[in-house]
A and B are shown apart, each in its own frame.
Chain A
Amino acid sequence: MPKITYIEHDGSQHTVDAEIGSTVMETALRNDIASIVAECGGSCTCATCLVHVDEKWFAVVGPPSSDEEEQLDAAFEVKPTSRLSCQIKVTEAIDGLIVHTPAYQGR
């Protein structure tokens, strides 16, 4: 099972198992990563599941779609490696993924 590490803004780290076919957002909720809000439940419409993908992983995860890029306009402190975690699917390729979660998702 692929593993994902969430590093929260206060530095705390959580490495958890992720189910293939689920998303980085769903995996966060299942593991009580508090800084992922996911108000819309994964519809790519609320921008409250923002993560900053670790630099060395960004090429693997890839850039956002144009829909997602538009939603990022409603997020805060967006960086070049920022993604909405509901739009990152869990695959074998992302085993070991590191994402940084922001302090604030807009609420």
Chain B
Amino acid sequence: MSETIKTDVLIVGAGPVGLFAVFELGLLDIKTHLVDILDKVGGQCAELYPEKPIYDIPGIPYITGHGLTDALMQQIKPFNPTFHLNEMVTSLEKTGDPGFRVTTDGGKTFECKCVVVAAGGGSFQPKRPPINGIEAYEEKSVHYAVRKMENFRGKRLVVVGGGDSALDWTLNLQPLAKSLTLVHRRDDFRGAPDSVNKMRALVADNKMDLKIGQVTALEGSDGVLAACAIKGNDGTVHRVEVDAMLPFFGLTMKLGPVANWGIEMDDELIPVDTGTFETNIPGLFAIGDINTYPGKLKLILSGFHEGALMAQKAHRYVYPDKKLVFQYTTSSTSLQKKLGVA
């Protein structure tokens, strides 16, 4: 199931800087698609601090991460970008001068003139618990996400964590599973109260088990789990026979596949030219927290500036025969038409 999507520019990362790049490119008639590994737009603003204040967006004395994301979505609406969420860009290949073919883990292929890497601190990926040898069981028996519930039918499951992901999957998988044990470090859950009540009712009916403590060891062979050791807060260790374990400890940022795209890197960051924010590969740009240059500051406002300059250079690649005339949104009727306000 592969589809090829043609676009002018593909933006990798739908955080604030990726979103604002849509605006700057849109003003220059450049069409964009965005890919993001999260299931929502906003990047760190959405994942790490949706309700936390930001005080240094020019002209906006105070806004939350969620508020800024919403405002940017409203600002770029006239340009109608297409979002591909829950997908990670896995490979990037140069096909022209410039021209790129980019594929995602969702089976999509993009063909585009330019690529803008606005990947911030990298991809948000599940935290791996520090249990000896856990890597060997990943894919087969240890799962950080549920792709198909059916895969867990009739299995003995251990779910680890105390948030909504752990509780939701506990409630969804319990009816299918042969047995289910939820493990959490304390007898208090931050998940939605309704989910907590439902889980407690299942425990009271002996339909599932709740253990307070942490998983400290795994047993099995060839990537197939047989049992895990759960250490209670009182120090006692229980051995639980298990076919699959699902740990939910939230997400962490990892650089991910960007490192394999042939871009020159400097300590997990991408050096760029500060006039164009282009990398060592023509037509491939890097803006926001993922780039580096003398004096770089990891501020959202810097990423906005970088996007504006990037768009000027991208225009030369997308419309090589058109002369770009600099215009202000305040006075240009043509820009205002694009924004739907003229």
Interface residues of chain A, those whose CB is within 8 Å of chain B, are 39-40, 43, 45-48, 69-70, 72-78, 103-104, 106-107
Task: Find chain B residues with CB under 8 A from A39 CB.
Answer: 48, 121, 252-253
CA distance A106 to B131 in the complex (A): 11
Q: Which residues of B contact A (CB under 8 A)?
A: 44, 48-49, 52, 121, 127-130, 161-163, 184-186, 188, 190, 214, 249-250, 252-254
- The residue from A70, A76, A103 contacting B249, defined by CB atoms under 8 A apart: A76
Task: Summarize B's interface: helix, strand, loop or mixed.
Answer: loop
| Cβ 8 A contact of B253, one of A45, A103, A107 | A107
For B254, the chain A residues whose CB sits under 8 A away are 107
Taking CB atoms, residues of chain B closer than 8 Å to A75 are 249
CA gap between A39 and B49 in the complex, in Å: 11
B189 to A, closest residue via Cβ: A73
A74-B163, A104-B130 are known contacts. Are A46 and B190 too (CB-CB below 8 A)? no
Residues of B within 8 A of A78 (CB): 185
Nearest-neighbor residue (CB-CB) of A104 within chain B: B130
B48, A73: Cβ atoms closer than 8 Å? no
Whole-angstrom distance between the Cβ of A12 and the nearest chain B Cβ: 19
Tell me the smallest distance from the CB of A28 to a CB of chain B, in Å: 18
A74 CB contact (under 8 Å) in B127, B128, B130: B127
**A75 CA to B185 CA, complexed, in Å:** 10
Contact B52 A48 (CB under 8 A): no
Q: A106 contacts which chain B residues (CB < 8 A)?
A: 127-128, 249-250, 252
* A15→B250 CA distance, assembly (Å): 32
Known: A69-B186, A70-B190. 19 other contacts (CB 8 A): A40-B48, A40-B49, A43-B48, A43-B52, A45-B49, A46-B250, A48-B252, A73-B186, A74-B127, A74-B163, A76-B214, A77-B130, A78-B185, A104-B130, A106-B127, A106-B250, A106-B252, A107-B127, A107-B254
Q: How far is the CA of A107 from the CA of B162 in the complex (A)?
A: 20
Q: Which of A69, A73, A103, A107 contacts B163 (CB 8 A)?
A: A73
B252 touches A107 (CB 8 A): yes
Inter-chain CA distance A40–B252, complex, in Å, is 10
Residues from chain A with Cβ under 8 Å of B184 in the complex: 73
